[in-house]
Amino acid sequence: MNEEEIGIGVIGLGMGANRCEMVCHTQGARLVAVADINAERAERIANKHNVEWYTDYHCLLERDDVDVVYIMTPSGLHEEMSVEAAKAGKHVIVTKPIEVTLEKADRMIDECTKKGVKLAVDFEQRYVADNVKIWRAIREGKLGKLILGEVRMKWYRSQEYYEGWHGTWELDGGGSLINQTIHWIDLLQWFMGPVETVFGHTGVFAHKIETEDLGAAILTFRNGAVGTILGTTTYHTDSPPRIEIHGDRGSISTSNNRIELWEFTDGYQPEEIPEGSPQNVVEDMVSALKEDRNPRVSGREGRKSLEIVLAIYRSARTKKVVKLPL
Ligand SMILES: NC(=O)c1ccc[n+]([C@@H]2O[C@H](COP(=O)([O-])OP(=O)(O)OC[C@H]3O[C@@H](n4cnc5c(N)ncnc54)[C@H](O)[C@@H]3O)[C@@H](O)[C@H]2O)c1
């Protein structure tokens, strides 16, 4: 292994198998080992990439050539694995959501801070050029005073999908909001700023699960703007998720992370993204380590969408407006 390369170990090989490919295609990164409790799966993915495999992830943490651990296991296992990784001196990339409770997320953040290792939460839409253009326009005040931000995500998930850990409180932390819609909830808060209040409603309509397959919420932001969130896995296809945002000087809408409408009273056009900007969380972590900076979505940043989702759940339970921070 080239000494300049960052060694990465992936734990959890469902969607994690795809993340192994991402690591292999990233300059400056090298996949060195994988772990999954499913031995057949671990061996198959390891053989494909010619790396070592384990069924006990602690063995992966013992390796000196693992600099970064990429955690792709069910959401309610992220804390345990991140904390163990930090204790072993490894930097951590964790998939979304960061965890299923704020207490667990905080323990991850605290342990990584204490051990001086970086923690990145993988919200992949944060690297999509059109989303970065929107964020820059808003940050530079081009939309003027923000008025409304809307998220709509209507997808399909079968009952079979929910036969394992999905849709359980313990391991998924909820249903369609925390697992699927959270990508766009993260974008909404990134674009619109901190949330002040949440009024939510959730229900289960088309699946036998203990959590929700439909959630809706009205938000207010600290800057006075209003937000709406709609997320469901009861639709009969995966329709393109939409975000629409407007202020008093412009309107933007996106479909599947691509800008569809860009209308500014002063004709402002989006700026091109500088060359060399990270395209995904692995590139981001590699350059964050070289430049000794925080990854784009740090633990604290990745925690924000979890707090909003948990506020929606609390509001749905109590039928009351919930004020943040929780
Ligand atoms: N686009 C995205 O960002 C995206 C997409 C899908 C899933 N995810 C996230 O990835 C995580 C996993 O989701 P998934 O759909 O891949 O689930 P999955 O069930 O398909 O895969 C999870 C894997 O983790 C393994 N595993 C479970 N417990 C383990 C343990 N103790 N040690 C080692 N391996 C263990 C399982 O055997 C399985 O192979 C979730 O947090 C989910 O939210 C993110």
Task: Determine how β-strand 242-247 pairs with β-strand 250-255.
Answer: antiparallel
Peptide bond into 325 cis (omega under 30): yes
Same structural domain for residues 177 and 312? yes
**Tell me: the pLDDT tens digits for 246-256?**
999 999 999 99
Range of the domain at 97: 6-124+280-288
Confidence check: pLDDT of 1 > 60: no
Give the distance (Å) from ligand 1 centre to CA of residue 200: 27
Banded model confidence at residue 274, pLDDT cuts 50, 70, 90? confident
Ligand 1 within 6 A of CB of 112: no
**Tell me: the pLDDT tens digits for 275-289?**
889 999 999 999 999
pLDDT of residue 3: 65
Tally of domains within the chain: 2
Same structural domain for residues 319 and 265? yes
Q: How far apart are CA 231 and CA 217, in angstroms?
A: 9
Exposure string of 208-243, with b = 16+ CB inside 10 Å and e = fewer, is: ebebbbbbbbbbbbeeebebebbbbbbbeeeeebbb
Q: Determine the residue of 45, 70, 72 to mutate for testing ligand 1's pocket, defined as the one with the most ligand atoms within 8 A of the Cβ atom.
A: 72
Same structural domain for residues 216 and 162? yes
**Tell me: the pLDDT tens digits for 286-313?**
999 999 999 999 999 999 999 999 999 9
Same structural domain for residues 254 and 118? no
Prediction pTM value: 0.98
pLDDT of residue 219: 98
Give the distance (Å) from ligand 1 centre to CA of residue 45: 14
Give the distance (Å) from ligand 1 centre to CA of residue 17: 10
**Span 99-126, mean pLDDT?**
98
Same structural domain for residues 118 and 164? no
Which numbered atom of ligand 1 lies nearest the CA of 55? 33
Same structural domain for residues 312 and 180? yes
Query: Which residues neighbour 64 within 8 Å (Cβ) at sequence distance 6 or greater?
Result: none
Same structural domain for residues 109 and 223? no
**Tell me: the pLDDT tens digits for 156-199?**
999 999 999 999 999 999 999 999 999 999 999 999 999 999 99
pLDDT of residue 170: 98
Confidence check: pLDDT of 122 > 60: yes
How big is the CA angle at 282 (ends 280 and 286), to the nearest 5 degrees? Answer: 120
Which numbered atom of ligand 1 lies nearest the CA of 124? 3
